């Protein structure tokens, strides 16, 4: 590992720890008004992305998550069980939260004397992701809502099919949001420890996002998100994606979201999109 790359990763980790420490300090003065409040949230949808992810061979990924989240007072836990289908040469595999891990070389075959990518389609259970976190509702009008979250990716996807790495991943992140009238800016900062399969040299990564939503009516809102994360493989561009979205709330307990995905670097998908439906049950 080059010294410069190691130093950059150390700086990113220190930034994350500083952000988490600041959020924890603010939380010491915070308390939720109703500690007995609880709710369930169930979410499913479909996500599709396509691109070469900096590998030179296109990969199409279909990701269908089934998520459940339980909130009680300021605490929450969640679990996501996904179905994943990948069409490609094996240079791109499934990762935590539906993201991808890229490898330098995919499968090839010889056709009429020429070497071409050996594209296959594999599908099945993806990596299950669990999370636990705490929300901090700061009792001050000028301060934001802060969520501190820890996640673990269980290697339930079939490594031999290229649906996952076959290793555990761990991440910590802080989500921050604040409403100003109809506008709600929000952001995420986090760090992921990536499990390395034998014979690979995957990197731990820093990730972040910044966005804003605007409430058009009582039922409709729209927004834009800019996502960034470091590449897990040396020699591949860091993924940067732009995601416009719109949400519709047809009922108090239901939220429907549609979105598009547009890659801004070679390490990103070229394009994608999806639909998501969420049901809330407040007790």
User: Where are the domains positioned within the chain?
Assistant: 3-268
Contact criterion met (CB below 8 Å) for 123 and 14: no
C-alpha–C-alpha distance, residues 154 and 131, integer Å: 11
The pLDDT of 143-164, averaged and rounded, is: 93
Q: 217: exposed, middle or buried (C-beta count within 10 Å: 0-12, 13-18, 19+)?
A: exposed
- Amino acid 51: pLDDT: 92
The pLDDT of 216-235, averaged and rounded, is: 94
Candidate from 84-93, 94-103, 153-162, 166-175 with smallest mean pLDDT: 94-103
Backbone phi and psi for residue 7, each to the nearest 5 degrees, phi listed first: -65, -40
Contact criterion met (CB below 8 Å) for 236 and 221: no
- Amino acid 34: pLDDT: 53
Which residue did the predictor score with more confidence, 196 or 187?
A: 187
The pLDDT of 154-179, averaged and rounded, is: 94
**For residue 18, pLDDT beyond 50:** no
**For residue 27, pLDDT beyond 70:** no
C-alpha–C-alpha distance, residues 50 and 65, integer Å: 18
**For residue 193, pLDDT beyond 80:** yes
**For residue 182, pLDDT beyond 80:** yes
Contact criterion met (CB below 8 Å) for 202 and 100: no
Residue closest to 193 by CA, chosen among 170, 174, 165: 170
* Residue 235 banded pLDDT, cuts 50, 70, 90: confident
- Amino acid 138: pLDDT: 64
The pLDDT of 220-234, averaged and rounded, is: 94
CATH class of 3-268: mainly beta
3-state secondary structure at position 12: helix
pTM: 0.84
Residue closest to 104 by CA, chosen among 198, 1, 5, 236: 236
Kindly state the percentage of the chain with pLDDT values over 70: 84
**For residue 191, pLDDT beyond 90:** yes
Mean pLDDT of the chain: 85
C-alpha–C-alpha distance, residues 132 and 152, integer Å: 9
DSSP assignment letter at 180? B
The rounded Cα 105 to chain-centroid distance in angstroms is 24
C-alpha–C-alpha distance, residues 9 and 191, integer Å: 10
Looking up tokens 């031999």 gives 160
- Amino acid 115: pLDDT: 77
C-alpha–C-alpha distance, residues 198 and 145, integer Å: 41
Which residue did the predictor score with more confidence, 197 or 47?
A: 47
Outline where DSSP puts E strands in 36-99.
38-51, 59-72, 75-88, 92-94
- Taking residue 18's Cβ as centre, other Cβ atoms within 10 Å add up to 11
- Amino acid 256: pLDDT: 97
């Amino acid at each position: 590992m080059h010294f410069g790359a190691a130093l950059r990763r150390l700086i990113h980790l220190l930034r994350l720890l500083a952000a988490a420490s600041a959020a924890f300090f603010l939380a010491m003065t915070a308390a939720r008004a109703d500690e007995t409040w609880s709710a369930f949230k169930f979410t499913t949808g479909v996500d599709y992305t396509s691109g070469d992810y900096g590998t030179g061979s296109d990969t199409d990924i279909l990701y269908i998550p089934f998520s459940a989240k339980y909130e009680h007072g300021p605490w929450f836990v969640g679990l996501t069980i996904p179905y994943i289908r990948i069409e490609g040469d094996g240079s791109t595999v499934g990762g935590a939260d539906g993201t991808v891990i890229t490898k330098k070389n995919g499968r090839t075959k010889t056709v009429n004397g020429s070497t071409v990518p050996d594209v296959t389609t594999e599908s099945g259970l993806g990596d299950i992701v669990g999370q636990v976190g705490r929300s901090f509702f700061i009792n001050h009008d000028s301060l934001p809502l802060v969520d501190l979250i820890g996640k673990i990716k269980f290697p339930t996807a079939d490594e031999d099919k290229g649906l996952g790495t076959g290793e555990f991943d761990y991440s910590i992140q802080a989500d921050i949001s604040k409403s100003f009238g109809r506008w709600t800016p929000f952001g995420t900062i986090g760090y992921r420890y990536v499990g390395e399969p034998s014979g690979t040299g995957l990197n731990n990564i820093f990730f972040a996002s910044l966005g804003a939503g605007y409430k058009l009516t009582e039922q409709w809102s729209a927004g834009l998100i800019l996502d960034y994360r470091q590449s897990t493989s040396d020699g591949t561009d860091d993924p940067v994606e732009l995601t416009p979205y719109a949400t519709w709330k047809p009922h108090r307990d239901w939220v429907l979201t549609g979105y598009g995905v547009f890659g801004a670097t070679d390490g990103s998908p070229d394009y994608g999109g999806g639909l998501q439906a969420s049901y809330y049950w407040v007790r």
